[in-house]
Chain A
Amino acid sequence: MKPSKLKPAQRVISWVLQLVIITILGYASYLKLSDHAAEIDLFSKLGMEPAGRFIIGFIEAAACVLLLLPNAAVHGAILTFGVMLGALIGHSTKIGFVGMTPLAALLLIIISTVVIYLRRKQIPSIARMLN
């Protein structure tokens, strides 16, 4: 099934937002996968060191890749939304709201929501309903 096309303006906005997500998320993923000290500290607090750190790092990397593909971007955004929801849960229950990370998570949630909204018709189960 062909995913439905976006209007030009929507497409531009969506791509700008996707690139913002990729920048932040890509950096976060890089820090995790390259054993950055702050990340090790974080995941120790969650009791997920080291496996959890690698899993999340990989998911974030995967989301970045998906966000680069026109037809899969919406899935990348959904993945971002999910991971960041988890991050917020972590910050509010175990880590506390310190530094830039929780703010970045919040920002990503908002941006990915907008991308999902713009590209909602490309979500397969919704696209099916439109036929």
Chain B
Amino acid sequence: MSASVDLHKISKFANLAIPSLAGLFFLGGHFVSFYFHFLTVVFLILTIVNLFYMFVQKKHAILRNFGILGQARYILESVGPEMRQYLFASDTEERPFSRVERSDIYRKSKGVDSASSFGSQLNFDNSEIKVRHSMYPSDKEDIVQFSLTFGEERGIEQTFTIRKPYMVSAMSYGALGVNAVKALSRGAKMAGIAMNTGEGGIPKYHMEEGGDLIFQMGTAKFGVRNEDGTLNDEKLKKLAAEPSIKMIEVKLSQGAKPGKGGLLPKEKISKEISELRGVPMNRDVVSPAHHKECVCKKSTVAFIKHVQDVSELPVGIKLCVGLTSEFRQLVEEMMLQDVFPDYIAIDGAEGGTGAAPKAFMDGYGMPLMPALYSVNNILTELGVRDRTKIIAAGKLINSSQQFMALALGADAIYSARGFMLALGCIQSMLCGSNTCPVGITTHDPDLQRGLVVEDKAKRIVNYVNGLEHDFYEMLAASGIRDAKDINIDQLYIPNDTALADQIEYLLEKHQSSLIS
């Protein structure tokens, strides 16, 4: 961890100091001079406010956890835009999410009107993709309600249909604390969207809320593994039979650390974690970089088939694209074996994670937009686009970016951090250190206290409603009646973008292959 200020400790000190000072000044006022009571009064008021913040109000996690000192954050934050505008960076410069992007989500999740004034703060030069509208917008009444059925291509019995184009992307219990998992699961259920469990093993807390779940099988297969890390068919069968579990996702790789496994140190393996994940308590557990069963295209496709057969549910795969040629070969192998996953989730290199080596986070994998374009292109070219669905993930937190992903071939949208922001994430980038100040990615009960499940679940609902509202507005503006008709023609793609490069690259390759 960095040597930053430990707000938690300081605030604990302050919370003791304030009432103590009030007492001290009271004594001063009583025995020395009544003038001390000016200070007594001030500190008494501070004490009252502090108690109110920590024990009565429930809306603001920061204030519940840190009391009056936490207020400093809001005050600093509120002068931040000015400070940054005049002194430091602009509202559009922060990464991964700029203030402009984040505040849109905060407003949506709080159900506040999101109209803005005077003009956009984004670029209109050659660096940004925009959506094209039509001169003839469609009437909202004519627009078909969104609907997508996973597993319909294979004609299986237990298909899964979503009616909103969003799903909560994988975040494990482990990366997230209990309260965050509960708030997310409850919110997702209330909003009517499905949620991915992440690779945290048996999704006990998710299932308690009873919403629709996509069980993620990571490379270590937590929850459904044998001692040696191979798949335990019985465990998978049992889990797949749970009413909440609607789909299974085989994770091949993830944008934040493609080609990389992970390590769960034995210190972090509590009794509960050991049970849920199905690992011993006294040993470090390695998440390998790939599934034991998947060592080549042939075995990978065979493994997908195996999971489909055992679970009898729609089974998708999640990957971050590295070599497009490898992906093409994988699809060709699928055609050969006549086995297709029920969806392919493409995670852009810009994806987030609880913890990953910086080199991988910053330097590996294809960014979403070009990757998505290539994947859609390859599937279409090989004539099998209708055999599977595509889900896109990677900073798709705002309506317009989501629309762009749909235009590039995605059928639905995954987001992880969008929902974290809706939960009150303030992008303090401490997910891996167990000190998340808003109690989302921490197991510290003191910090989780600030995250009130019921209140934050409603924010998820508001966020989804806000996105859905925008979605239909945008469909109308593009003159489209059915979300299935969104396509790349709806995008304005300037030459300098990564996407334009990829399009050109594939085009050239295609032409040269025609010539040779």
Q: Interface residues, chain A, CB within 8 Å of chain B?
A: 46-48, 52, 78, 81-83, 85-86, 89-90, 93-94, 125, 128-129, 131
Contact = CB atoms under 8 A, between A and B. Distances in A.
A48 B77 contact: no
Nearest to B40: A89
B45 A85 contact: yes
B35 A48 contact: yes
Contact of A86 (B33, B41, B78): B41
A37 B356 CA distance: 75
B45 A52 contact: no
Contacts of B60: 129
A82 B75 contact: no
Given A85-B41, A89-B41, A129-B60, A46 B74 contact: no
A128 B75 contact: yes
B74 A128 contact: yes
B88 interface: no
B38 interface: yes
Given A47-B33, A82-B45, A93-B30, A125 B75 contact: yes
Interface of B: 26, 29-30, 33-35, 37-38, 40-42, 44-45, 60, 63, 71, 74-75, 77-78
29 contacts: A47-B33, A47-B34, A48-B34, A52-B34, A78-B45, A81-B45, A82-B41, A82-B45, A83-B41, A85-B41, A85-B44, A86-B37, A86-B38, A86-B40, A86-B41, A89-B26, A90-B34, A90-B37, A93-B29, A93-B30, A94-B34, A125-B74, A125-B75, A128-B75, A128-B78, A129-B60, A129-B63, A129-B71, A131-B78
A12 B41 CA distance: 29
Contacts of A46: 34
Nearest to B76: A128
A112 to B, nearest CB: 11
A131 B60 CA distance: 12
A57 to B, nearest CB: 14
A88 B349 CA distance: 63
Contacts of B75: 125, 128
B26 to A, nearest CB: 7
Chain B interface mostly helix, strand, loop or mixed?
helix
Contacts of A78: 45
A41 B40 CA distance: 23
Given A93-B30, A128-B74, A129-B60, A52 B35 contact: yes
Contacts of A82: 41-42, 45
Top 8 A-B pairs ranked by shortest CB distance? A128-B78, A46-B34, A129-B74, A82-B41, A86-B41, A85-B41, A128-B74, A86-B37
A81 B45 CA distance: 9
A47 B63 CA distance: 39
A52 B63 CA distance: 36
A52 B34 CA distance: 9
B71 A125 contact: yes
A93 B63 CA distance: 34
Contacts of B37: 86, 89-90
A93 B37 CA distance: 11
Nearest to B72: A125
Given A129-B60, A129-B74, 13 more contacts: A47-B34, A48-B34, A52-B35, A83-B41, A86-B37, A86-B41, A89-B40, A93-B29, A94-B34, A128-B74, A128-B78, A129-B63, A131-B78
B40 to A, nearest CB: 7
A47 B29 CA distance: 11
Most buried by B among A86, A93, A129: A129
Contacts of B63: 129
B167 to A, nearest CB: 30
Question: Which of A78, A90, A125 counts the most chain B CB atoms within 10 A?
Answer: A125
A78 B38 CA distance: 14
A89 B37 CA distance: 8
Contacts of B45: 78, 81-82, 85
A49 to B, nearest CB: 10
B114 to A, nearest CB: 13
A81 B49 CA distance: 13
A47 B31 CA distance: 11
A85 B77 CA distance: 32
Contacts of B34: 46-48, 52, 90, 94
A85 B26 CA distance: 12
Contacts of A89: 26, 29, 37, 40-41
